[in-house]
Structure 1
Amino acid sequence: MREMFNYYKSKDADLSQVKDLTVSHPAEGIICQSIAALSRNLSSTIVEEEVMKYGLKAYKDWNVTAIADRPGLYILHNIFTPESHLEWVYKAINIYCRPPNFTNINQSGSMEEDKNFNIKKLRWATLGFDYDWTAKVYPETPRAPLPDEFVYVGEKITEALGLLKLESDTSIVNYYPLNTRLSPHVDRSERDYSYPLVSLSFGQSAIYVSGGASANDEPIPIMLHSGDVLVMAGSQRLVFHGVPRILKTQNFQVENDSSSFTVAEKKALLQYINDHRVNVTLRRTAP
């Protein structure tokens, strides 16, 4: 795991072996198909008619990739409408990272400390149960409920995959400038591992390295793009994973002049999303 992580964090790394999971690789047990073909939970009526909220595309437009030797790992491809990518990032840099939520630059969630807010230094925000990064534990009670969109998206995705419905109560939002990374780790602080972990990607792309239960297990490098969702469930819930590199692959624009963003908001948003990746992870902490 560490060897592959270190290789891909180099700007000189050959990216030809990073998996594009938007297509199937049958010889490797990698199958990309429509969510309707994979899921037994979705009737044809639901697939065709259900209207989604918070930027989710209709189920009929969802494609998902599963890997035979990694049961429980799912990658859903670009399941958010194009305009919603900007809306999610706007909330990430204007709402999710502001009081009363905790961040790496405001670890009390206070309005007083927020006066020194500097978006260039922003790396993470916690919502719901506030993760203790030193002790690596969650408190017994949440500070505040999650935004409705977090709960809704987590439920819709896990239901579609036929997994235990994720009633998320906790989120860690990670903010990645182009030159940053996330070291290999296992998300084991949640109290009940039977709930899936859902990870949303917005902004620039990432090389994601997915390993096994041991740091010595053979990993696989995966490319994640804006609008993609990665789900870890079952035996994949407790595997090592990391993000060795962020890649600038998209140039976002506000296409609709009637958007709700002001001129100043539009400028700040485009400046941010074109040089950063935002990763929203949805979790269940309470038993």
Structure 2
Amino acid sequence: MQEWSKNKKKESKTICFVPTMGYLHQGHISLMEKGAPLCDELVLSIFVNPTQFGPNEDLDSYPSNIENDLSLAKKAGATAVFLPNKENIYPENYQTEIRLKYLPDHLCGKFRPVHFTGVATVVTKLFNIVMPDMAVFGQKDYQQLQIIRQLTLDLDFDIKIIAGDIIREKDGLAMSSRNAYLSKSQRASALSLWQSLNLAKELIAKGEKDSGKIKHKMETFFKTFSQTTPEYICFCDPQTLDHVDSIENQVLLALAVKIGKTRLIDNALIDPSR
């Protein structure tokens, strides 16, 4: 992969990179379609990174369909697909980690303590291997997006980070590879994430500024759905991810919810002046 990229650079070709863990859906495709027109080459990586999974998480059961992924990648305009295995990325005696100080202490990082160190480490390695000019990350993983932006800035990567929109099913559920875990009844309950975001938007539009009051109404709303337990509901500064008590400016509303054993995330940027 690195040799391929070096050769493209010698030909003065530009490279756009979309890193994924595979089991591609329309959300991933939208990232490739966003990146394809911006560079000469579009590289997709598929690697289920073990270091970003904690104990009792779904590493061993994470869905996979490489043949379908390759077909979708080709249709979306990918000119190369990087398919490393664990031994390629973390060879024997590997011992280096990339760790951020502050951004991982919020949202998902509170509940998945090893996750973002694993993400930052593997993305750093992938950037060094693929050597892209730009990379596209989805906004559904908003905290991850902010961490990658900070990582790129701090480590002086000459890479432009592009945000891809959240892609939703027709009924509003944010597309995720983990949606495949949901039963029919759980799939219906999973709509509570999108609906709760809309509930918050309506309350803010009516003039409610107290994030605690909005959060309480959202928690009450979630209780009306079976097998549904919020892990967190947070109103944050979109840049720092620090908690916001009074909603005066644009705010990130981020949430993680367990539907049965499946953990789903979603978010919305909300501007009270609009």
Same fold, TM-score > 0.5, yes or no: no
What TM-score results when the alignment is normalised by the length of structure 1? 0.27
Report which structure shows greater RCO (CA 8 Å, sep ≥6). Answer: 1
Considering fraction of residues, name the structure with more helix: 2
Considering fraction of residues, name the structure with more strand: 1
What TM-score results when the alignment is normalised by the length of structure 2? 0.28
